[in-house]
Amino acid sequence: DAGVTQSPTHLIKTRGQQVTLRCSPKSGHDTVSWYQQALGQGPQFIFQYYEEEERQRGNFPDRFSGHQFPNYSSELNVNALLLGDSALYLCASSFGATNEKLFFGSGTQLSVL
């Protein structure tokens, strides 16, 4: 049973560029949440997708956007990259929008130069 898979594992971009990160949820899960984890910090909630809609959003600017596809996979897009966007981006899946047990992928390490 495949767990949560994320791609790519590492990415290097320059300021002002745009980036797309991808996530496939654990089999049987229909909800995807995205988190940003800066070095030495805990994960911070970006947003949650359920039934192809953004259901909840954390305190992140509109430069951060996402999408969920009919097969429940998801993308995170970040526009106009800033140096401060450098972090580990984690995808977590669960069953149902209110389900509390999150399963995390290994993340995408984004470096903005």
Partner 1 sequence: EDQVTQSPEALRLQEGESSSLNCSYTVSGLRGLFWYRQDPGKGPEFLFTLYSAGEEKEKERLKATLTKKESFLHITAPKPEDSATYLCAVQNTGNQFYFGTGTSLTVIP
The residues binding partner 1 (CB under 8 A) are: 4, 33, 35, 40-45, 48, 56, 58, 90, 92, 97-98, 100-107, 109
Three-class DSSP category at 86:
coil
Report the residue number, 7 or 14, with the smaller CB distance to partner 1.
7
Q: How far is CA 47 from CA 13, 14, 54, 72, 105, in A?
A: 22, 24, 7, 15, 16
The least distance separating partner 1 from the CB of residue 18, rounded to whole angstroms, comes to 24
> Which of 60, 11, 9, 52 is CA-nearest to residue 36?
60
Cβ-based nearer residue to partner 1, 14 or 41: 41
Q: Which is nearer to partner 1, 15 or 64 (CB)?
A: 64
Q: How far is the CB of 80 from partner 1 (least distance, A)?
A: 26
Q: Check: CB of residue 11 under 8 Å from CB of residue 22.
A: no
**Closest approach of partner 1 to the CB of residue 79, in Å:** 24
Smallest distance, partner 1 to C-beta of residue 16, A = 28
CA distance 89 to 105: 9
